[in-house]
Structure 1
């Protein structure tokens, strides 16, 4: 199922106005507009519970959560990460906000 983004979504632009990113322009077929940030609020506890349960089922997620919750580096935990998780971790691709794991 394809979603017609021109009709169903509006994205806020967090980038400076340059004339190249026009979220209100629905005439540009086939152009990609990068999303600079997504903000969500009023997420229900069930959402967080479902996400945390999914982390517990995946070994690499669990290890990443433990690493990112540590105040100091833990070589023991880092050595348990497998590729490509280890490379992404060393490249600082993961971060943790409010208990949710993000990848950039």
Structure 2
């Protein structure tokens, strides 16, 4: 249990672990106790001046060149919905006429905050994943080739 407590220490201040009584939660009961203080005798001690917050937005694990991503950005100009989403997300616009011009599925996803723009690429977030939004078939075929055939 100490191993998990030490691993979780780096997230202190960003999460709260609550104790829930019952037989189902006995295996994690030790995690719900008071966190160890950030002192030199704590194995997970981090000096205050060394603490920084580093958000991880995504991890690049592909060999796909920047040309592909530039092609994706250019393809957004060809598709009306992608072009509107890029405009809305890039400038953080609240233009209801632009939002209403999206098709129904994308309008609902946009209003739920499921679209994100990173480096000019639109990503669609679902409950358990975040995927790149592609709007032309050629790019879908390129992705399939790069990740399945080009290993």
TM-score by length of structure 1 reads 0.56
What is the distance in 2 between the residues matched to 1:56 and 1:72? 18
Q: Does 1:39 align with 2:38?
A: no
* CA offsets 1:5-59 (integer angstroms, 9 cap, x no match): xxxxxxxxxxx8xxxxxxxxxxxxxxxxxxxx85116763312221112211211
Q: What's the RMSD between the two structures over aligned residues?
A: 2.3
Q: Does 1:96 align with 2:117?
A: yes
Residue pairs, 1:1-104, within 5 angstroms: 39-40=59-60, 44-104=65-125
Match of 1:23 in 2: none
Structure exhibiting the larger radius of gyration computed from Cα positions? 2
Partner SS state of residue 81, structure 1? coil
Match of 1:27 in 2: none
Show structure 1 runs of 5+ residues with no match: 1-15, 17-36
Higher helix share: 2
TM-score by length of structure 2 reads 0.40
- Between the two proteins, the alignment pairs up a number of residues equal to 69
